[in-house]
Structure 1
Amino acid sequence: MTDITEKVHRYETFLNEKLRTDLRKVHEKRDVIYSELAEFLQLKTAIENIKETNSTNDLKTRVDLGCNFYIQANIPDSSKIFVAVGLDIYLEMTLDEASTFIEKKISKMNEHVSMLSKDLAKIKAHIKLVIEGLREIQSISSETEQEHHNLWS
């Protein structure tokens, strides 16, 4: 009986400390990528709007300083922009170069999201497997206890 209790405890520990922690970490990674992806999509839309209006000179816009606090900005030459390429590095690019870079970046980010989604599915499957194993062990132990109880009654 203590062997079964020990197994149940080991499975529960593995489930709570390993699998659920891994699930949370992968969710967090995917959320960060979704957030970055939204920013790149917003930048792509802004670039397309600049291209459509053909107004690379004297552009007026609002800039988010953080926490949705905006200020008005005047950009004298919007033919080039600075794009975050990673590791806190920004490169000056033309609008066409930026569009090309953003398309590639979005594609890579979507691949990464897909990979993380597969990892999430695997972890969820492992969680389900462990839970089913726990149910099986506990039902066997409850049946065994019931048989012992019936023998002694």
Structure 2
Amino acid sequence: MNEKSELCEKYRKFAVERLQSDYEEMIKAVNCIVDEVKEYETLLLFINKIKVLDSEEPLKTQTNIGKNIFCEAVIDKWDRVIVKLLDDVYAELSLERAEDFITKKIELLSERAAFYERETHSIRARIHLILSSVKQLESL
């Protein structure tokens, strides 16, 4: 009886400590990817809005300089934008090229988020399976 309870506790501890931490890491990864997708979607929306404007006139806008403090800005040349390619790698792209890049990047990030979500569900299912098996084992 003692050996059975030790074994049950071992599996319960594994499910709670190891698998739960893996689950939380996956959730964080999904949230980071979703935040990045939102940033790219915001930039894509901005690009679509400025494409219809006359590029000869300066663009007046408000810019967030941190902690939701905004200042007015005037952009003289706005036929190009700076886009984040990877972690700390940025490139100045034309509006059309940036639009293509952002669309593909959103697709890739969405696929990655879907993969991590599937992994999250898999880990959650393993936790549930182990804990329910431990309950059944204890009731024997």
TM-score > 0.5, shorter chain as reference: yes
Taking only aligned residues, the RMSD between alpha carbons, in angstroms, comes to 1.1
Q: Percent identity?
A: 28
Determine the structure 2 residue equivalent to 1:26: 26
| Conserved? CA contact 1:57–1:78, under 8 Å | no
Instruction: Provide structure 2 residue ranges, at least 5 long, that are not aligned to the other structure.
Output: none
Provide closer, same or farther for how the CA distance between residues 56 and 137 of structure 1 changes in structure 2, counting only shifts above 3 A: farther
Determine the structure 1 residue equivalent to 2:61: 61
Please give the residue correspondences for 1:42-81 in structure 2 after superposition, counting only pairs within 5 Å.
42-55=42-55, 57-81=57-81
- Shift of residue 71, structure 1, vs aligned partner: 1.6
Residue by residue over 1:47-93, the C-alpha shift from the partner in whole angstroms, topping out at 9 and shown as x without a partner, is: 00001223364111111222222221111110011111112111000
Determine the structure 2 residue equivalent to 1:149: none
Give the total of aligned pairs: 140
Secondary structure in 2 matching 1:77: coil
Moved more, 40-49 or 69-78: 69-78
Give the Cα–Cα distance (whole angstroms) in 2 for the partners of residues 114 and 2 of structure 1: 43
Question: Which of the pair is proportionally richer in helix?
Answer: 1
Residue by residue over 1:80-131, the C-alpha shift from the partner in whole angstroms, topping out at 9 and shown as x without a partner, is: 1111111211100000010000001000001101101110111011011011
Instruction: Provide structure 1 residue ranges, at least 5 long, that are not aligned to the other structure.
Output: 141-153
Give the Cα–Cα distance (whole angstroms) in 2 for the partners of residues 109 and 76 of structure 1: 32
| Conserved? CA contact 1:62–1:70, under 8 Å | yes
TM-score (norm: length of structure 1): 0.87
Secondary structure in 1 matching 2:82: strand
Q: Which has the larger radius of gyration?
A: 1
Higher relative contact order (CA 8 A, sep 6+): 2
Determine the structure 1 residue equivalent to 2:135: 135
Determine the structure 2 residue equivalent to 1:11: 11
